[in-house]
Amino acid sequence: MTPATLYGLCAAALVAIGLFGLILHPSPLRKVISFNLVGSGTFLFFGVAARRGAVAGFLGDPVPQAMVITGIVVAFAATALAVALLLRMLESGAPTVDGPPEQPDDLSP
Partner 1 sequence: MSLAVDLVMVLLILTAAVWTILARDRRDAVIAFIVLGLLLSLVWMRLLAVDVALTEAAVGGGATGLVLLRACARLLPVEADGALPGLRLQVAVGVLCAVVGACLAAVILSPPEPAPSLAPAVAAHMEDVGLKNPVTVVLLAYRALDTLLEKVVLVLGLIGVWALAPDLFWGGRPASLRAAVPSGTLTFLARVLPPIGVLIGIYLVWNGADHPGGTFQGGTVLAAMWLLVMMADLGDPPETRALRLRRLVAVGPALFIAVGLAGFGMADGFLSYPPGYAKPIIVAVEVALALSIAVILGLMVAGPAAKEPDQ
88-107 positions binding partner 1, by CB under 8 A: 88, 90, 97-102, 104, 106-107
How far is it, in rounded angstroms, from Cα 19 to Cα 81?
A: 20
Q: Which of 87, 93, 94, 95 binds partner 1 (CB under 8 A)?
A: 87
Q: Are 24 and 17 in contact (CB under 8 A)?
A: no
- The residues in 2-41 that bind partner 1, with binding defined as CB under 8 A, are 3-21, 23-27, 29-30, 32-34, 36-37, 40
Q: Nearest Cα to 41, choosing from 84, 66, 75?
A: 75
Whether residue 71 contacts residue 43, with contact meaning beta carbons closer than 8 Å, is answered with yes
Rounded to a whole number of angstroms, the minimum distance from the CB of residue 105 to partner 1 is 8
Q: How far is the CB of 31 from partner 1 (least distance, A)?
A: 11
Residues 61, 50 contacting (CB under 8 angstroms): yes
Give the number of residues in contact with partner 1, rule: CB under 8 A.
Answer: 86
Gap between the Cα atoms of 53 and 65, Å rounded: 11
Q: Which parts of 48-67 interact with partner 1 (CB under 8 A)?
A: 48-63, 65-67
| Closest distance of CB 27 from partner 1, Å | 5
